[in-house]
Amino acid sequence: MTASINALNAPDVRRLDANHQQLLNLSLQLEEAMEEIGTDPEYADLQRLSNSIFLRLREAHDLEEQVLFPGFDHRAGSCFSVMIIEHLKAEHRYDRLVAEELRLTLTALSEGRCTLPLDTIARMLRSFLECLRRHVSTEKLMMEALLAAESEEREIFA
């Protein structure tokens, strides 16, 4: 990791928050586009949004792992933080795999090569978006705990 274990700074917090907000906005747009499955013969919005969310997800994960996780681990005061961080990194890997699968599925759909029923694709999208929102919520709570601990110069689990 390239980040130091210094306190989270304002630009890092803004970048993390902006990234999370962009992911949530893309999720809403993807959900709205999903409602149009079957009415948009080209599925252009779904394909464009899935490409965007895949790229934004990678950027968000990289930023979290470089900035948020080291600070959280440093301030945690418990070996529990290692387990939390490893769990979140595993979720990152899973989220990326699912995002890539959705991207490929929606590309195939837009090119007329997808054999999956539309309701299956809709369920895939809903499931992914639910996991994504839960993950963003968890990391926002993690960031809030870190910021509170840093401002009070204490450990997170103290």
- Domain span at 114: 10-151
Task: Give the chain's length.
Answer: 158
Rounded distance between C-alpha atoms, residue 27 and residue 38, angstroms: 19
Task: Determine the 3-state secondary structure of 154 from DSSP.
Answer: coil
Rounded distance between C-alpha atoms, residue 95 and residue 23, angstroms: 12
Q: Does 135 fall in a domain?
A: yes
* Mutual angle of helices 10-35 and 44-63, in 10-degree steps: 160
Rounded distance between C-alpha atoms, residue 45 and residue 110, angstroms: 10
Q: Does 97 fall in a domain?
A: yes
The pTM assigned to this predicted structure is 0.81
Q: Does 3 fall in a domain?
A: no
78: exposed, middle or buried (Cβ count in 10 Å: 0-12, 13-18, 19+) = middle
Q: Does 157 fall in a domain?
A: no
Q: What does DSSP assign to residue 111?
A: T
Q: Does 158 fall in a domain?
A: no
Residues of the chain short of pLDDT 50, as ranges, are 1-4
Q: Does 129 fall in a domain?
A: yes
Cβ atoms of residues 60 and 138 within 8 Å: no
pLDDT at 2: 43
Q: Does 51 fall in a domain?
A: yes
Cβ atoms of residues 4 and 74 within 8 Å: no
Q: Does 1 fall in a domain?
A: no
pLDDT in tens, 102-119: 889 888 887 888 899 988
pLDDT at 158: 65
Q: Measure the CA dihedral 97/99/104/66, to 10°.
A: -70
Rounded distance between C-alpha atoms, residue 124 and residue 121, angstroms: 5
Rounded distance between C-alpha atoms, residue 61 and residue 76, angstroms: 20
- H/E element, 74: helix 69-76
Per the structure, how many domains does the chain have?
Answer: 1
pLDDT at 146: 86
CATH number of 35's domain: 1.20.120.520
